[in-house]
Amino acid sequence: MTRREPLHIVIVGAGFGGLTAAIECRKRGMNVTVIETYPTSQTFGDIIDFFPNGGRIIERWDKGRVGRDLMRICINQGDRFQYCKADGAIIWEEDWILEPHHYWRQYAGHRGQLHKVILDYAKEIGVEFAFGDRVVQYIDGGSTTTGLKPSVVTASGKTYVGDIVVAADGPRSIARQQVLGLPDTKVNSGYAIFRAYFSLTDEHRKNPLFADFCDPTTDMTKLWVSKDLHMLVYTWNKGKDIGWVLTHKDTEDIGESWSFPGKKEDVLACLAAGGFEQKLVEMVQATPEKNLVDYKLVWRDPLATWLSPSARITLIGDAAHCHLPTSAQGGSQAMEDGVALAVALDRAGGDVPLGLRVFERIRYNRSHVTHMASTSVRDGYHNVDWDGDAIKENPQVLNIPRPEWVIEYDIATESEKHFDHLAADVRSYRPGTIQELALPAGGDYGVDSRKVGHQPKTEGK
């Protein structure tokens, strides 16, 4: 039997989805080159979280060592996640870690710091990186009979050729136009986020209103909600680090850029309009303005396919399914893409189009449901009837969506389990839409599905 040469994977974008794809493909013996526009991840200065379906992927890397490295810089003293009215009155709360086995599978903290740990691991295992260069052209190469492989061209004029090209370059990916032939249809979702991260100092600790933020014994995980506004605050590293995100209505034009320097006066105006408690005002006033970003939340409609005509280029992560933050799954779903991609390519035995077509069928419906939940969950936050009985009877409507069918999912096991029958469907040209051919999502984001069987603790229990 002829020995198969290792596949060469070219990945555009070193975000969490791209890094996961790189690591998982490399661990399966493939050669991987990642092209990343930015020279460093240390400027990624806001907060991000990964729930257990993404965290279980990390847990398996280097026998848990990568997860342990992350946990040292993540929220690791969190007890409760609290959901509050704007004035601070607690409406609903639940355990931050829902189950004991989630401890090494749930990570949240500074985006840049988490990214560096995973990036360093990718380098350790032999992933090659090209930093500081931007991809400006995707070339499909035609069908496999032409003998031409897919490639990309960068702004510096370099060409990278691979057996597979993976577009993991986020919601602004030009692959939508160049690979899929789609118009650039980005639209403002009607919302934007102010976001910031900074370190707390001794001066902050002298302010009584900062007591909860600076507590060295308990990390804060808390959400405040008002009409068309919600603010998430995390603290960690024994009361030394704080990150916050304020989602607000926004109709500004996004033609030139999706990200702008934020203005404190704009944030403070939102807080005043929403009646938010004073300690949040103090927190914003203490935020260095240079750390404040105003980011437009752009919506992308679901795609009919993520694959090029030859099925040798694929989109993954936000390039394929641009989740809004309220799904609480953007990062984890991108990581699931990376694992499923690696498994399918490995199992396809060198048949790249087969591998990519199976990959798409593993992931399409699951990512679609979490993607679409972005808007429904957000609307649930922003359209609460505070004066009626609904919020009293179902306070979990404010819940960060963590249904079991999402967070307990093992993407590696499920990808292995379903490869053979999905590959058989591909080979037999089984008819149907992608929704009909892909694996079922596994659930929905209804209020009942988001309870996860957990209720707030009470005294004496």
Question: Tens of pLDDT along 218-253?
Answer: 999 999 999 889 999 999 999 999 999 999 888 665
- For residues 368 and 306, membership in a common domain is answered with yes
> 279 lies in a domain?
yes
Whether residue 461 lies inside any domain: the answer is no
Q: Does 308 reside within a domain?
A: yes
Asked if 220 and 356 sit in the same domain, the reply is: no
Residues 178, 199: one domain?
Answer: no
Q: Are residues 110 and 225 in the same domain?
A: no
Rounded-to-integer distance, Cα 448 and Cα 396, Å: 9
Residue 399 lies in a domain: no
Looking at residue 39, its pLDDT comes to 76
pLDDT of residue 94: 87
Confidence band of 457 (pLDDT split at 50, 70, 90):
very low
b or e along 74-88 (b: 16 or more beta carbons within 10 Å of the residue's beta carbon)? bbbbbebbbbbbbee
More confident residue, 306 or 328: 306
Q: Does one domain contain both 320 and 355? A: yes
Can you spell out the DSSP letters for 393-432?
Answer: H-GGGGS----HHHHT--HHHHHHHHHHHHHHHHHTT--S
What does the pLDDT average to over 338-364?
97
| Alpha-carbon span 106 to 74, nearest angstrom | 9
Nearest alpha carbon to residue 70 among 99, 39, 111, 42 = 111
The pLDDT value recorded for residue 257 is: 52
The tokens for 407 are 């967070």
Overall average pLDDT of the 205-215 stretch: 94
Flag whether 2 is in a domain.
no
Same-domain status, 168 and 251? no
Range of the domain at 218: 187-299
Token pair of 413 as six digits: 């096991």
Q: Enumerate residues 6+ apart whose C-beta is below 8 A from 263.
A: 289, 292, 294
Look at residue 452 in the predicted model and tell me its pLDDT. Answer: 42
pLDDT value for 11: 98
Looking at residue 380, what is its pLDDT? Answer: 66
- In a domain, residue 92? The reply is no
The domain that contains 263 carries what CATH number?
3.30.9.30
Q: How confident is the model at residue 446 (pLDDT cuts 50, 70, 90)?
A: low
Domain count, the chain: 2
CB 191 within 8 A of CB 246: no
User: Is there a single domain that holds both residue 61 and residue 16?
Assistant: yes
CATH number of the domain where residue 108 is located: 3.50.50.60
| Boundary (domain end) residue, out of 244, 268, 299 | 299
The pLDDT-based confidence of 426 (bands split at 50, 70, 90) is very high
pLDDT at 60 over 50: yes
What pTM value is reported for the model?
A: 0.91
Mean pLDDT (the chain) is: 87
**Domain identity same for 176 and 193:** no
Rg (CA), the chain: 22
259-308 pLDDT tens trace: 778 899 999 999 999 999 999 999 999 999 999 998 887 767 788 999 99
90: in domain: no
Q: Are residues 227 and 358 in the same domain?
A: no
Percent over 70 (pLDDT), the chain = 85
Q: Give residue-wise pLDDT tens across range 371-418.
A: 887 777 766 666 666 666 666 666 666 667 788 899 999 999 999 999
Rounded distance, CA 76 to CA 104, Å? 10
